[in-house]
Structure 1
């Protein structure tokens, strides 16, 4: 009987405590945010949507390697010798065309690990949290500013230059081998050493 009374008192006490909180707030001004007209300001350092300043990216691929869920896909093509891609705002030279830089925010776990190894600080999180989609493919963000036609042109030029450099290396190797062969032919043969007299045989005859 004592247990029943104690449990009943605990139940009513919990109800009265909750109602007391409700009554206290009933006479206070409302603090409800009128979303979406009023939006909560995110605190400094909040982890939200990833953004890439593609003009400062050097294609080092460090962010993609640091990502634990592989939500960053990067594809680069070496710039040909006739193209100067300039430098980033931090002074780093740009040697690669960024033919692909995609981030799948549907896979992102908001760990922020990809932002730390970036040498140019071009990838970072922005205070944007309203990007829900009905189609998950719309959560893949494409940051490369190259058109498909430009990508094909860049790849074709890079392949052509790589093939030319390969042929040039092979030609130089052949020339080097031919010179080494000619040098070996033109090198005078060593004269045979004169035979030493056989002193042992002369001693035996004497």
Structure 2
């Protein structure tokens, strides 16, 4: 009979030993954050979603060349010298049309290598980390601001400028060839003096 009561005592004491941690945690304050309502404070130099200030982009393509996974897609066109495209916030003149600037965040490895070579500091990492999507095409961010009509207008301006420059070069080459031909022919022979 004593064995029966000792078994009961061991079972209850074993259960109490196991539940001691549970009971202690039930009365202690919680350490878990209520995530959607309370968000963790991110460090200052965190590398999350990329942000691009398109007004400061000069179209140098250094960020796309530095990207190890090719997630940045840029299309540029050199503007004619007569065209004024404005200035960046640092005072640097824009000389290139940036017709397309897309970043595929699904490919991005958040290394930050694209941020450092940017001379105008228009590309930066933000502390935004909530950007999950159901469709992968929503993870391609289009930062370009030129509409298709503006792109076609820019292409026409560039084409017109190139044609004008080609015509000027051809005219200068023709003028140089004419001057060279005239110099090669030499002066016209003088008429013989009349006999007296």
TM-score range, shorter chain: 0.7 to 0.9
The equivalent of 1:107 in structure 2 is 107
Which residue in the other structure is 2:130 paired with? 130
Q: How many aligned residue pairs are there?
A: 172
Q: How does 1:78-89 map to 2 (within 5 A)?
A: 78-89=78-89
RMSD of aligned alpha carbons: 2.2
Q: State the distance in 2 between where 1:33 and 1:86 align.
A: 47
Question: CA offsets, 1:54-84, max 9 Å, x none?
Answer: 1111000000000001000111122234421
The runs of at least 4 aligned residues of structure 1 exceeding 6 Å deviation read: 18-21
- 1:71 aligns to what? 71
TM-score normalized by the length of structure 2: 0.80
Shift in Å at residue 98 of structure 1?
1.1
Residues 134-188 of structure 1 deviation map (CA, whole Å, 9 limit, x = unaligned): 1111111011111111111111211121122122112211211221121121269
Q: Taking structure 1 as the reference length, what is the TM-score of the superposition? A: 0.77
Aligned-partner Cα distance in 1 for 2:65–2:140: 18
Unaligned runs of 5+ residues in structure 2 are 1-17, 190-196
- Mark the runs of 5 or more structure 1 residues left unpaired by the alignment: 1-17, 190-206
* Secondary structure in structure 2 of the residue aligned to 1:115: coil
- Mapping of 1:30-69 within 5 angstroms? 30-69=30-69
